[in-house]
Amino acid sequence: MKKIVQYITLLLLISPAARAQFENVRDSVVQLYGVVMTADSLVGIPAVSIVVKGQNRGTITNNSGVFSIVVLKGDVVEFTHISYKPKIITVPRNLEGNQYSVVQLMVADTVYLPATIIRPRPSAAQFARDFANIKVPDDDLEIARKNTSASARRALMKSLPADGREATTIQLNKIATKAYYAGQHPPQNIFNPAAWAEFIDAWKRGDFKRKNAP
């Protein structure tokens, strides 16, 4: 009984301004309903998006083009469809009552596609010529074969720097050679037959050719 008395007292203490504001909000709610149809044949358009602009509220028309959505007086409602030009309506602010019906007509939107050139089928001679001259791209096996060829490996040996192991080996060999010939002159490779054989092999491989030669 005590809670009921407190509830009645709270209702009596509500200010007239708050009650008036609540009545204004309730009066501004409108049930918007109607049908969306084509302008030329008056056929209902299904799946038309109906969105209240500036708000995350909307709906779509059914298979007959009929829709229904709750809006406020003064709201801007947009009708969009991929095949028709968009339409926008505004719910009147001075609307009497809480229902507003519309019959929205939409005009088909013309889409221009790029020109397509249709050419006749080639003759047998043309097909044979093009088929014989077509460049077939290399498969993975052919690409691997080219990358591991002797010429490709020689080019990579010249261009790629030595890794840590190779650089260490070269440096240790230099130190060992210097220590081996300490106190005397190292021999000249011009009188070394093995050096001459290596020079001849390099000359045959073309290691001394100019790289920018045509």
Contact (CB, 8 A) for 11 and 47: no
Q: Give the pLDDT of residue 153.
A: 84
Sequence-distant (≥ 6) Cβ neighbours of residue 185 within 8 angstroms: none
Architecture of domain 2-106: Sandwich (2.60)
Sequence-distant (≥ 6) Cβ neighbours of residue 170 within 8 angstroms: 162
Please give the structure tokens belonging to residue 161: 């720097």
Helix (H) or strand (E) holding 194, with range, is helix 193-205
Residue ranges of the chain that CATH labels 2.60.40.1120: 2-106
Cα–Cα distances (Å) from 130 to 126, 127, 133, 134, 184, in that order, read 6, 5, 5, 6, 72
Q: What is d(CA 14, CA 70) in angstroms, rounded to the nearest whole number?
A: 28
* pLDDT digits (tens), the chain, 214 positions: 555 555 555 555 555 544 544 455 557 899 999 999 999 999 999 999 999 998 889 999 999 999 999 999 999 999 999 889 999 999 999 988 899 999 999 999 887 888 888 888 778 888 888 888 888 888 888 888 888 888 888 888 778 777 888 888 888 888 888 888 787 777 777 777 777 888 888 888 777 776 554 4
